[in-house]
């Protein structure tokens, strides 16, 4: 009698086990994760942390391998989003800048001088603005599941300190592949040149370009002072949040439990990466800035009055791109920042 009573439970258990086994059999042996920067950049560290946490928490059932330097798209980082949508890439920790040609809302983070501090960035990514942006990405066939950070982008050059727009006049500046950046640096009187990160450092070393803009962590790890980038101005003109994302078909193939694991791992890896991206650059910790100065970097921090001159010089660009991005979204962002 006891045996007969236990039959339904045995049957159900066997069916569940069979279902789980069949589902796991649909999983790939390896999921390709694309990044532009690998370790020891905070960007690459966050991606590797994500892969490690997922492997650990699924007992190796989900195996993610990180491919840095945009190697899955032959070094052309602006093609990463499209390649993930097409299934060439399974997952990515991607730049809001690099994905902005496909998702116009991502240009929000590149509006000049929108975000004055880290709290402003958090107000956007962790609030209703972030949700709106994730909705826009989902419409493109990609599932966004978490945020990380490349950091505020600062300006460097080999010629002289930059404290006013006039100091950029005529400088050849490497910028990322976004027309918004062309507009910003043109408005400031510079000569912007778009090129991939892989081409940037050689161009700076040879003097083919005079300067560039990137987070201090990139300057640090890449030892940009050895490429002649002696002069650094901290102006926080734009920021580059990163997004953990998964191809829609891949995401749909995961069980609900595995989706929860992958997302929680992204949240944890994102927090880890954000900590690395901000280390040594906060009010309480200036250790990275001091270390760079010890290596020969001449660092300038703008006064409020100096910064305002750059704000004024780029206001027409801001207004032009506000309309392109969506005035409602930009208004929401401005409100979120004012209430932070």
pLDDT in tens, 256-296: 999 999 999 999 999 999 999 999 999 999 999 999 999 99
Arithmetic mean of pLDDT over the chain = 93
Residues 264, 30: Cα–Cα separation, whole Å: 20
B/e letters for 242-267, b = 16+ CB within 10 Å, e = fewer, are bbbbbbbebbeebeeebbebbbebbb
Q: Can you give the pLDDT at residue 84?
A: 98
The Cα–Cα gap between 101 and 81 comes to 9
**Is pLDDT above 90 for 68?**
yes
Contacts of 202 (CB under 8 A, 6+ apart): 208
Domains of the chain: residue spans and CATH? 30-338 (3.40.190.170)
C-alpha closest to that of 157 among 192, 184, 187? 192
Percent of the chain predicted with pLDDT > 70: 93
Mean pLDDT within 32-49: 97
Between 10 and 58, where is the model more confident?
Answer: 58
- pLDDT-derived band of residue 332, with 50, 70 and 90 as boundaries? very high
pLDDT of residue 8: 53
Spatial distance between the Cα atoms of 52 and 265, rounded to a whole number of angstroms: 9
Cβ-contact 162, 174 below 8 angstroms: no
Structure-token match 């909705």, residue found: 135
In the 3-class helix/strand/coil scheme, how is the chain assigned residue by residue?
CHHHHHHHHHHHHHHHHHHHHHHHHCCCCCEEEECCCCCCCHHHHHHHHHHHHHHHHCCCCCCEEEECCCHHHCCCHHHHHHHHHHCCCCEEEEEHHHHCCCCHHHHHHHCCCCCCCHHHHHHHHCCHHHHHHHHHHHCCCEEEEEEEEEEEEEEEECCCCCCCHHHHCCCEEEECCCHHHHHHHHHCCCEEEECCHHHHHHHHHHCCCCEEEECHHHHHHCCHHHHCCCEEEEEEEEEEEEEEEEEHHHHHHCCHHHHHHHHHHHHHHHHHHHHHHHCCCCCCCCHHHHHHHHCCCEEEECCHHHHHHHHHHCHHHHHHHHHHHCHHHHHHHHHHHHCC
Which pLDDT tens digit goes with each residue over 162-174? Answer: 999 999 999 999 9
CB 231 within 8 A of CB 160: yes
Specify the pLDDT at position 24.
Answer: 57
Average pLDDT over residues 216-236: 96
Summarised one tens digit per residue, pLDDT across range 139-186 is 999 999 999 999 999 999 999 999 999 999 999 999 988 899 999 999
In the structure, what pLDDT confidence band is assigned to residue 26 with cuts at 50, 70 and 90?
confident
- pLDDT at residue 191 greater than cutoff 60: yes
Query: CA–CA distance from 83 to each of 27, 64, 143 (Å)?
Result: 20, 17, 14
Least confident of 37-41, 109-113, 197-201, 297-301: 197-201
């Amino acid at each position: 009698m006891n045996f007969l009573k236990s039959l339904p439970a045995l049957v159900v258990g066997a069916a569940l086990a069979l279902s789980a086994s069949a589902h796991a059999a649909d999983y790939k042996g390896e999921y390709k994760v694309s990044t532009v920067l690998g370790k020891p950049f905070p960007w690459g560290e966050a991606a590797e942390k994500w892969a490690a946490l997922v492997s650990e928490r699924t007992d190796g059932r989900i195996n993610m391998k990180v491919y840095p330097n945009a190697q899955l798209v032959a070094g052309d980082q602006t093609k990463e989003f499209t390649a993930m949508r097409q299934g060439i890439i399974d997952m990515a920790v991607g730049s809001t800048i690099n994905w902005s040609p496909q998702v116009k809302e991502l240009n929000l983070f590149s509006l000049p001088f929108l975000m004055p501090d880290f709290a402003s960035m958090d107000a956007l990514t962790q609030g209703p603005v972030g949700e709106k942006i994730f909705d826009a990405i989902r419409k493109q066939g990609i599932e966004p599941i978490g945020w990380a950070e490349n950091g505020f982008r600062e300006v460097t050059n080999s010629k002289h300190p930059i404290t006013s727009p006039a100091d950029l006049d005529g400088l050849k500046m490497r910028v990322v592949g976004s027309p918004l950046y062309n507009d910003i640096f043109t408005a400031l009187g510079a000569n912007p040149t778009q090129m991939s990160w892989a081409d940037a450092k050689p161009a700076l070393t040879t003097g083919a370009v005079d300067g560039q803009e990137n987070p201090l962590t990139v300057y640090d790890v890449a030892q940009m002072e050895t490429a002649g980038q002696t002069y650094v101005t901290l102006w926080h003109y734009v920021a580059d949040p990163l997004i953990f994302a998964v191809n829609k078909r891949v995401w749909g193939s995961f069980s609900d439990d595995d989706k929860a694991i992958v997302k929680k791992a992204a949240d944890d890896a994102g927090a880890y990466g954000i900590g690395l991206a901000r280390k040594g650059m906060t009010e309480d910790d200036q250790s990275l800035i001091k270390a760079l100065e010890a290596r020969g970097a001449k660092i300038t921090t703008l006064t409020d009055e100096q910064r305002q001159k750059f704000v004024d010089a780029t206001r027409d660009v801001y207004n032009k791109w506000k309309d392109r991005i969506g005035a409602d979204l930009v208004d929401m962002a401005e409100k979120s920042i004012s209430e932070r």
